[in-house]
Amino acid sequence: MDNPKIIFKNQHRENTLCALNGGQELSPCTIVIFGASGDLTARKLIPALFNLYKNDRLPEPLTIIGAARTEMTRQEFANRLKESMAPAQIDLKRWDEFCQNLYYQEVDYDSPHSFTVLADFLTDLDTQRKTKGNRIFYLAIPPSLYPTVADHIGQAGLANEGVQGKQWSRIVVEKPFGRDLKTAIELDTVLHKSFKEEQIYRIDHYLAKETIQNILMFRFANYIFEPLWNRNFIDYIGIIAAEKLGIEHRAGYYEQAGVLRDMFQNHMKQLLALTAMEAPSLFQDARVQDEKTKVFRSLKPLTEGNLFKDLILGQYSSGTIDRHKVPAYRNEPGVNASSATPTFALMRLFIDNWRWKHVPFYLVSGKRLREKITRIVVQFKKVPHSMFRHVLGEDISANRLIIGIYPHEKISLTFQTKTPGARLCLQPATMDFTYQSLGPGATPDAYEKVLLDCIQGDHMLFWRQDGVELTWAFLTPILEECESCRDLAGQLHPYPAGSWGPKTAMKWLKPIIS
Ligand code: BG6
C-alpha cells in the first residue's frame, strides 16, 4: 500500500518575502547569438526570449542579432524561427512585434574581417536603437568553435567595456567546458585573452530550475533541517537524473562525451554541491560559489583504489520504451558498432570533510531508463534504539526526505505514524509540498532565467572557472582510467533500454528510485 499523503497547501502567501532588488531595471542591450541557424537557437533561445518579451520581462530596447554562416535575409531568419516554434507558442501579433527587434548577420567564423563587419553593424544598430553599446555574445555553436569565435570577438574590440559598468560586454558559453582538465584550462585561457572572469557566463541549465534553486532556500532559510544535515543523522544521499530519451540526433557529440562528461561533470556536480555545501555568509554570488568550490575541493578521489568498486558503467542494448521498440546504443545512427561509450553511470563518492566523512553520495544518471526522474534523496539513519522491537521487530524504516525535480517538483518527508485502530501498527506517512500548490507561472523556463540573469549581470546560476577546474580535476583521472582500461568491455554492463540500468547497480539504485 502507498504511504498516506499529507498535502501541504500554500497558506501563507501574506508572509511572502521578496528580494529588495527584484524590480531592478534592466539595461538596454544587444544579444548576438552565434549559431543562429542551429537547433539550440530555434528550440530554446528564441522561444525563451519571445516568452520573456510577451511577459514584458525584457529590457527596452533590446536587439537580437542572429549570426551564422548560412546566407539568409532578416526575413528568412524570422520565418525559419517561426516555423520551428510550436503553434501554441506563437501569438502572431506579438510575434510580428517581437521580430522588429530581430536581425540577422552572416558571419564567417574563421574570418577576422567578418567580425569587423559585425562590429560596424553593431555600432550602427546601437545608434539607431539606443542600446548603449551593451552586448551579450551567446555561443550556441559547437564547442570546437569557441576558441576561434571568442578570439575574433576580442580582436574586433567587441569585448571592451566602458568604465564603471557603463557599456558592458558579456560572453555566454554552453557546456562542455573542455573535455578534460587540460582542455578546460586551454578554453579558459582563450576566453580570458579577451574577457575578464566577470564577463564570462558558463551555463548549466540545471541551476536555473526552480526546484534546484530552492535547495539553498530550503536548507538555509529553515532552522529545523540543518542540524540534521550531516554524518550523524544521514545514512546516505542519492542524486539521480534518469532519462527515458536516448541520444536523439547527437551521436557525434555523445560518442565523444558519454554520460560522465555529459551529465556528471556539470549537472550532477552542481546538485551535489548544493546538497553538501556549507551555508554561505550571504546569498551573494561569490560567496555561494566559494562554498561550492570547497565541496569540489573535498571530493575524495575515486582512483586511489579500485575504481570500479565505486563506479558502475553501463550501455543500453535494445529494449522497449513506452511500448515502442528502441535500438541498442550501438545501433543508433552515427554510433560506432563496437562503441565503448557509457550511457549509464552510478558513482559512489565521498566528501572528505567534517560534515560528510563516511557518508556515501550515490550519483546516478543514464539514458533510455525506465522513467525520467530527477531527484535528491536524503536518507536519514534508523532510530538508534527501537522501543517497539519486542512487538514490531527492529526494522523500522528510517526518515527520508526527497527533493523532487522531475516529474514532480516537490519536497516530501516520510516518517512513521501509528495506524489507527486497536492493534499496534506503524506505518510510514509522507508529507508532500508541491510547487504546483504555489499557483501557475511559478516555474519559468530555465533558459528564460539564465538569459535574464545574464542581462542583469548576476553570476549566481553560472559556473565559475575554479569550480570547472576542480570538477575536471576529479573526473579526468577517472576518464583516463576508464578510457585506457583494457577491460573496459568487461566493465561496461549492458542493460536493456526501458530498464533501470545494469543489474549490478541495483543494490545501490533500488533504494533511490523506490
Ligand atoms: C543536457 C545533456 O545537458 O541535459 C542531455 O546534454 C540531457 O544529454 C539533458 O538529456 C537533461 O536535461 P533535463 O533538463 O531534461 O533533465
**What pLDDT does residue 248 have?**
86
Are 405 and 212 within 8 A, CB to CB? yes
243 CA from centroid of ligand 1 (Å): 8
Give ∠ CA 147-152-155 in degrees, rounded to 5. Answer: 125
CA-nearest residue, atom 14 of ligand 1: 206
Ligand 1 atom at minimal distance to the Cα of residue 446 = 14
Residue to mutate (ligand 1; options 43, 179, 202, 205; most atoms within 8 A of CB): 205
- CB distance 453 to ligand 1 below 6 Å: no
Greater model confidence, 374 or 4: 374
What is the C-alpha to C-alpha distance for residues 447 and 450, in angstroms, rounded to an integer?
Answer: 5
Residue 360 buriedness (CB in 10 A; 0-12 / 13-18 / 19+): middle
Indicate the helix (H) or strand (E) that contains 190.
Answer: helix 181-194
- CB distance 262 to ligand 1 below 6 Å: yes
Strand partners, 433: 411
Q: CA nearest 99: which of 133, 127, 73?
A: 73
- Can you give the residue ranges of every domain in the chain? 29-167, 207-513
Name the band, by pLDDT with cuts 50, 70 and 90, for residue 11: low
Residue to mutate (ligand 1; options 263, 373, 374, 447; most atoms within 8 A of CB): 263
Mean local confidence (pLDDT), 359-370: 98
Q: What grid cell was written down for 412?
A: 516530501
- CB distance 310 to ligand 1 below 6 Å: no
- CB distance 174 to ligand 1 below 6 Å: no
Are 447 and 44 within 8 A, CB to CB? yes
**What pLDDT does residue 440 have?**
66
Strand partners, 362: 238, 348
Name the band, by pLDDT with cuts 50, 70 and 90, for residue 216: very high
**What pLDDT does residue 435 have?**
85
Indicate the pTM of the whole model. Answer: 0.92
How many Cβ atoms from other residues are within 10 Å of residue 171's Cβ?
A: 26
CA-nearest residue, atom 12 of ligand 1: 206
Q: Is the link from the previous residue into 142 a cis peptide, with omega within 30 of 0?
A: no
Backbone angle region of 192, left / alpha / beta, with phi > 0 → left and psi within -120 to 50 → alpha: alpha
Strand partners, 240: 364, 375
Long-range contacts of 229-232 (CB under 8 A, 24+ apart): 229/355, 229/378, 230/355, 230/356, 230/359, 231/355, 231/356, 231/357, 231/358, 231/359
How many Cβ atoms from other residues are within 10 Å of residue 163's Cβ?
A: 6
How many Cβ atoms from other residues are within 10 Å of residue 447's Cβ?
A: 21
CA-nearest residue, atom 4 of ligand 1: 263
pLDDT per residue over 21-64, tens digit each?
A: 555 678 999 999 999 999 899 989 999 999 999 999 999 999 99
CA-nearest residue, atom 2 of ligand 1: 262
11 CA from centroid of ligand 1 (Å): 34
| CATH superfamily, with its number, for domain 29-167 | NAD(P)-binding Rossmann-like Domain (3.40.50.720)
Give ∠ CA 270-273-277 in degrees, rounded to 5. Answer: 155
Instruction: List, in order, residues 6 or more apart from 485 with CB less than 8 Å away.
Output: 491
- CB distance 409 to ligand 1 below 6 Å: no
pLDDT per residue over 268-302, tens digit each?
A: 999 999 999 999 999 999 999 999 999 999 999 99
55 CA from centroid of ligand 1 (Å): 26
322 CA from centroid of ligand 1 (Å): 19
Residue 397, pLDDT above cutoff 70: yes
Write down the catalytic residue from 267, 324, 390, 493. Answer: 267
Is 408 among the catalytic positions? Answer: no
- CB distance 339 to ligand 1 below 6 Å: no
pLDDT per residue over 295-314, tens digit each?
A: 999 999 997 778 999 999 99
Mean local confidence (pLDDT), 329-343: 96
Strand partners, 311: 347
DSSP state of 260: I
Name the band, by pLDDT with cuts 50, 70 and 90, for residue 146: very high
Which CATH code of 1.10.10.10, 3.30.360.10, 2.90.10.10, 3.90.870.10 fits the domain covering 207-513? 3.30.360.10
Indicate the helix (H) or strand (E) that contains 493.
Answer: strand 492-496
- CB distance 180 to ligand 1 below 6 Å: no
Ligand 1 atom at minimal distance to the Cα of residue 374 = 16
Q: Across the chain, what does the average pLDDT equal? A: 92
Greater model confidence, 105 or 87: 105
44 CA from centroid of ligand 1 (Å): 13
Ligand 1 atom at minimal distance to the Cα of residue 241 = 16
Residue to mutate (ligand 1; options 177, 203, 243; most atoms within 8 A of CB): 243
